Amino acid sequence: MAHVIVTGGAGFIGSHLCARLCADGHRVTCFDNLDDFYDPAIKQDNLQQLHQHPSAAGQLTFYQGDIRDLDTLQQLFQAEPIDAIIHLAARAGVRPSIEQTLLYGDINVQGTLNLLECCRQYHVQQFVFGSSSSVYGARRQGPFAETDDVSMPVSPYAATKRAGELFCHTYAHLYAMRIACLRFFTVYGPGQRPDLAIHKFARLMSQGEALPVYGDGSSQRDYTYVDDIVDGIVRAWSWLQQGPTDQGICEIFNLGGSHPVQLRDLIHLLESALGHQANLDWQPMQPGDVPITCADVKKSQTVLGFDPQIDIETGLQHFAAWFLPRVSSVSTP
């Protein structure tokens, strides 16, 4: 049984991952600052559900803290031995990063560097970093491979994620750390953050409000179901454990579904899953947005055994089954 720290563990992906790790028999410390980027009550609800998980008793601990606070992190690392860090905490979102670039740099770059430095100081070798498909920039054709040039990010958020990858490479090279950088492609599913497109669209459709659609609806995203992402994270960590402990390594892996969906088609599928008609409000393309994301997952399949199971139609049905009862409970007097 390993002891794993999951940063951002009360968030969307993090809470799903903590539940999976507990179910696999590991001790998990869920580290999160419960910030107000979106309603903190959502993370509190995630934590409540985590503590009620059948496998969580005696295995799950919540630690509230900020990855920018090096003193707090050092106290955490000093408290007891840690086998691995799975670092998902970040200030998310492409468009907000344009308005708050300094904040994004502070959290996503300095926070990641703080964690790597603590791993160096306290001899934690295994580190999984949650990166993003946004590092690929404004490409117009897919699929995107890990060997592609990522030197031209088009948003501060993307730049911070690429910076995190570079620091991971440096620490692996200098301090024999074993690191996997995972580029997530548009994660969705039950519990999705309210600011992300599928959840935002579902909320607006259920309220009879207009959906802001940026561009002509032809932009494409490689939507990836959250359980498939969690499986990829667990597989990447397992892969890190298999190598020699005296050799550093830093590898990048795409985690995506490899089947991009046009925005207009996503809206039609969501209408069908929810049983609501969408009222579209067409808007110009936004700065920082990219025309397409599409993961080449051959490396992840070969090295990690990554094999996404949930297609977009099935995934949206799962999302709707989670979302619709919540809308009903809110609207009921």
Cα separation, 197 vs 211, whole angstroms: 10
Report cis status (omega within 30 of 0) of the bond before 212.
no
Provide the 10 A C-beta neighbour count for residue 86: 29
Burial 216-247 (b: 16+ CB within 10 A, else e): eeebbbbbbbbbbbbbbbbbbbebbeeeeeee
Is 157 an annotated catalytic residue? yes
- Environment class of 174 (CB within 10 Å of its CB; exposed 0-12, middle 13-18, buried 19+): exposed
Cα separation, 219 vs 226, whole angstroms: 21
Q: How far apart are the first and last CA of the chain?
A: 47
Cα separation, 11 vs 147, whole angstroms: 30
Residues 6 or more apart from 50 whose CB is under 8 A from it?
Answer: 10, 15, 18, 19, 22, 30, 56, 60, 62
| Residue from 104, 157, 188, 225 carrying the catalytic annotation | 157
Cα separation, 3 vs 61, whole angstroms: 11
Cα separation, 318 vs 310, whole angstroms: 10
Q: Which helix (H) or strand (E) holds 183?
A: strand 178-184
Task: Give catalytic residue positions.
Answer: 157
